[in-house]
Each structure stands twice: as structure tokens, then as C-alpha cells.
Structure 1
Amino acid sequence: MGRQRDDGGETSETKRSPESGVTSFLAGSSAGLVSSGILQPFEVIKTRMQAHKLRPGSINKSMFKTAGCVVRDEGIRGLWSGVTASCVRTAAGAGLYFLLLERVTKEVNARFPESPNASQSSVALMKTFAVGAVSRSLAATLLCPLTVVKTRMEYTSMSGTAYTGVTNALVTIGRTEGMRGLFSGLGSTLLRDAPFSGLNLVVYTQTRKMMQDMRAKEGRAMTPFDTFVAGAISGGVATFLTHPPDVLRTRIQLRSVNVTFASVVADEGIRALWVGSLPRIARRTLQQAMTWSLYEYVAKNLGGTALSP
């Protein structure tokens, strides 16, 4: 995440406008909103697969069989269950994440200046990981109630609890379960989101730098497709490695009881920690590809700060 230089030799940090934080938020929100609306079916299928044990007599099905059951029982619209909550959560989360990412990066670079070969050093990689993890942790904590609502609404047709909208769900959960209900699963959410974002940011910046070096040797400039590929690679790798906490988060937020890695493994085996991984990896891979591409494009055209190395 080194400082970029333009043709005039100035670093991007010196060219940041006072509104650069707003630009980062708008770029991140736009990317999150678009990707969430398009890819919601993957999230619904993943939630249903992870929650199958919560229904007596339910058996674990594959991604395609689960999708078929949703369409058969609820119609094609069932694949977009909870899409409003998902769009609100993802748009707000992505916007807040990129806003915090820029601010945290600026503070870290000011306190710990980069050396000339910083992009190759382990210290720089650790710093990038930490920036991503801290930014996502702050955003995830602030938006945990929306995450709970999103998960509940994706499962509402099976749980029997109906919400008329995001606000109704927040009020209902807050009234019946209190703050504990609204922040249920926060620990497992942070256990998932912090390493995910750290890994995602490290893999993305390093992959894009390698691609940038390859294109330079070929005498060509980076293309939007290159950014898309780098985002897809970073999203897929980080998602697979951080999937188990997502299983834990889903079950805690749906059932509001103590569920642990040990109890899941004891009851269902180690493979249960990767239940629903295929639709989640598919969604996150495409989502991160779209998010990074849209973020870089919007940030550039609005005069903000891109995160490319």
C-alpha cells in the first residue's frame, strides 16, 4: 500500500482533498451496494446450508439442491430473501470500511514511514494486514446489529419469524432480546472479518503489484480486468481460510445460544466448519472482484485515493 505517484511526481497523499474520506465512503458504498444486490442468492443459499442443523430432521444439501429447494418452496424471489437488509449492511459496511481504511492507512504511514523497499518487506505486509484487520473490525462492530438483521431475514421463511423491514427487525430484536441480541455473534464476526480483511488486503495489493510489474515489462498499462482478477483471487483465498468463523456466526445469530467450534466438530465432524463454503466463496470471489474494480474506478473518477500499489 505504498504511496502512489502521478506524472508530476507528487504522491497521492499530498493530493488528497479534504473530501477524500467522503469519496472513499461513496466509492465503497457504491461497490458494496451493486455487488450485494446482484450476488444475494449466494448469501441466502449459504445461510440456509449453515442453518440446516437448527431444523429437526433437516439434512445437509449441496449448494444446487439447496437453491432448488428455495425456488420450489418460495419461488425465485426466495433467493433474494433479506436483500434489503443485505444491501443496507453491505453498502454501509463497505463505505465505512474504505473510509476507515484510508484514515487508518494515513495514520499508520505517518507514524511508521515506509522504507524504499517496503513493498517487499515482511514488516510492510504485516502493516497492510493490520490496517485491513483494524478497519474491518471497527466497521463490523458498529454494524453488527445490521448483520444480525440480515442473517435473520435471510432465514425468516424457515424460522417462522416475519419482519416487515429492516427497521421493524431492529426494533423487534432489540425489544425481545435487548442489546445482547443485536450484538449476538460479534465475537465470531470479528474472528471472521478481521483476518479476512487483513488477508484480502495483503493478497490484493501484492497480486496487483505483481500484475502491474508484468504489464510494465510487456509495455502495457493495467486494465480494469486486471483489477477484477486481483480482487477475485484475494477474495477467494481469504474467504476459504476464514470460513469456519462464519459458520459459528450464522448459528449464534439465528439461535442466540452458545455454539463453539468444539461443539460443531463434536456433533458433525470437522467438515461441518466448511458447510456452505462453496456459495460463500463463489459470492465473495465475485463480490471482491466487483468491489475492488468499482472502488478503484469510482475513487479515481471522483478524485479520491485508489489503493493500488
Structure 2
Amino acid sequence: MMQEANTPWTVSLLAGGFAGAVEGAATYPFEFAKTRVQLRQEVGKPTPKNPFKVVAQVYQREGLSALYKGCSTLVIGSIGKDGVRFLSFDTIKNQFKDPETGTLTPMRNLAAGMLSGVVASITCVTPTERIKTALIDDARNEKRYMSMTHCIKTVLKEDGFIGLYRGFAGTTLKQAGATAFRMGTYNTLKDYEKKHDIAQNTATNFANGSVAGIVTTLTTQPFDTIKTRCQSARGASTVEAFQSVIADYGIKGFWKGTTMRLGRTVFSGGILFTTYEWAAAILNPLLLPKDQGLRE
């Protein structure tokens, strides 16, 4: 996946942004279901663990459009998030890699991913996640936001610019961890496969991405749950979100929505990296000087 140091930065940015948009739109119903489950429910009211059941219930009660509430915000955010994430990861990893083999140790892969996750959270992830979550939360209760634009204006009016960064701590911890494990796992698998002459194709890219998605979900779910509580329509501080999860469900509540998120990340990881590889393969010949060649 990740390109050599001489690959134009525009390849990482454009291919990453395109991959993020495709992945976000294709898997959004799972993200919607996961967010619904993580938000506060009525006391004593059970919440289904099957993501398909949540999607079906929302579809039956609220229609197809409800399943894509906040989707445009996520897609826009994914374009920026994954464009920045792939660009920053490629840039950072080139500083960390072994100059002779061109590979990274697993720990350096994780470190490069962690730093790129922080960059992505600061530049675009936190604001777009805040609006997406507020739209999903609002749709099940007050329904006061008429659109993404109206939601942004309302948040700015009520809380100021800082309102867009509500949940910043949880989001940054999630992004740092998620990017570290997703990028790190994917690249570790790729390096292993290269050493053992395993063919790189759509199937291996998708499988590697799916494994990376599973590892990412299981290790970072508590941060995702706290982030969701912080970014609800009414909002909450990180401490308040932490306390509310404990009060509602106990320690196990931090893994609320894991099944929903796995339903998405298994597919999203495969889609994201496969699309990135495909887009980079098309862009590289157009943007890379011919005498520099391409990485296999």
C-alpha cells in the first residue's frame, strides 16, 4: 500500500481522500447503528447487539433516509481524515523506516500511525464527528437540526468554535489508537507478505484491511464510546461521559456498540485499503516522474 518516499504527496492525499469517501458512504448504516447504541437509552430498556436488527428497526420506523442521517458529514470528514491520515502516515513512516530494507518494525509502524492519527483528529476528525453524532442523536429525540449546515450554525451559536471540538480528548485518543493499530497492522502484514513472496492483489489487500479493522475495533472501542457520549446533541465533558457510561452499564459499557462497529470495520478496512491501492495505482503513473519507477 504505502508508497516510497519519492511518491508525490498528492498521491497519498488524493488516493486517501477518495478511499475515505468510498468507505464512509458504503458502510455508513453500520456507523449509524453503532452510534445509536452508544448514546444514552431509557433506563432498563435493552438495546439490540445485532447491527442488522438495529438497521432494520430504524428503516421500518423512520425510513431509509434516517439511516443516512449525518452521512454527508461523515463522508466529507472521511475525505479530509483519510487524505490527511494517509499523507501524514506516509510522511512520518518514511522518517522511521530502515534505510536499507525500506520497512518498519511493528513498534515503529504503530508510532507512525499514532502520530498521523493525532494530526487527523486536530485537522478534521473531531469537528466532523461532533456534527455527525449530534445529527444522529438529534434525529431520535428533538429533531431541531434541519440539515448539516443548520447543525453547524447552531453549535457555533450556542457553544462557539470550541463546540465543534467537544469530545476532542476522546476523539484524539481514539484516532491515535485506531490509526496506529489500523495502519500499523496493515503495514506489518504487508511487510511479512513481501518477505515471504506472497502475491499482493485485491484479495490480500482486502483481507489485510479487514484484519486491521478487527484489531483496531477491539483495542479502541472504549475511546469511541466516550467520544460518542461527549458529542451527543446536548454534549458532555470527557469526565461526564465516562461517569455516564459507568452509571448506565458499568465497565462493560465501554465496549457498547462493539458488534456494530465490527460490522463496519471488517468491511471498511478492506474497502479503504483496497480502494487506496487502486487509486494510487492510477494516480502514480500520472504524478510520479517516469524515471523514478513505482513500488510493486
With the shorter chain as reference, the TM-score category is: 0.7 to 0.9
- Number of residues of Structure 1 aligned to a counterpart in Structure 2: 284
Residue 193 of structure 1 pairs with residue 196 of structure 2: no
Match of 1:223 among 201, 210, 220: 201
Structure 1: 4+ residue segments shifted above 6 A: none
Residue 256 of structure 1 pairs with residue 247 of structure 2: no
- Could you tell me the percent identity over the aligned residues? 26
Residue 276 of structure 1 pairs with residue 254 of structure 2: no
Give the equivalent residue in structure 2 for 1:31.
19
Does the aligned pair in 2 maintain the 1:195–1:242 contact within 8 Å? yes
Shift of 1:262: 5.1
**Unaligned segments of structure 1, at least 5 residues:** 5-11
Deviations 1:119-158 (A, max 9, x none): 57xxx32222121111111111122211111111222321
Whole-angstrom CA distance in 2 between matches of 1:116 and 1:103: 17
Shift of 1:282: 1.6
Whole-angstrom CA distance in 2 between matches of 1:286 and 1:308: 26
Match of 1:246 among 201, 217, 224: 224
Match of 2:118 among 137, 147, 150: 137
Give the equivalent residue in structure 1 for 2:274.
293
Letter in 2 for 1:180: I
Give the equivalent residue in structure 1 for 2:86.
98
Shift of 1:57: 6.4
Q: CA RMSD in A?
A: 2.6
Whole-angstrom CA distance in 2 between matches of 1:78 and 1:256: 21
Does the aligned pair in 2 maintain the 1:236–1:282 contact within 8 Å? no
Shift of 1:161: 3.4
Moved more, 36-45 or 161-170: 161-170
* SS of match in other structure, 1:62: coil
Whole-angstrom CA distance in 2 between matches of 1:288 and 1:229: 9
* SS of match in other structure, 1:155: helix
Whole-angstrom CA distance in 2 between matches of 1:24 and 1:115: 20
Moved more, 72-81 or 190-199: 72-81
* SS of match in other structure, 1:222: coil
Whole-angstrom CA distance in 2 between matches of 1:118 and 1:83: 38
* 1:1-309 matches, cutoff 5 A: 12-13=4-5, 15-16=6-7, 20-53=8-41, 55=42, 58-63=45-50, 64-106=52-94, 108-109=95-96, 114=98, 116=100, 119=103, 124-143=105-124, 144-214=126-196, 216=197, 221-254=199-232, 255-258=234-237, 259-261=240-242, 263-303=244-284
Does the aligned pair in 1 maintain the 2:120–2:175 contact within 8 Å? no
**Unaligned segments of structure 2, at least 5 residues:** 289-293
Change (3 A) 1:308 1:61: farther
* SS of match in other structure, 1:250: helix
Moved more, 159-168 or 25-34: 159-168
Whole-angstrom CA distance in 2 between matches of 1:154 and 1:267: 20
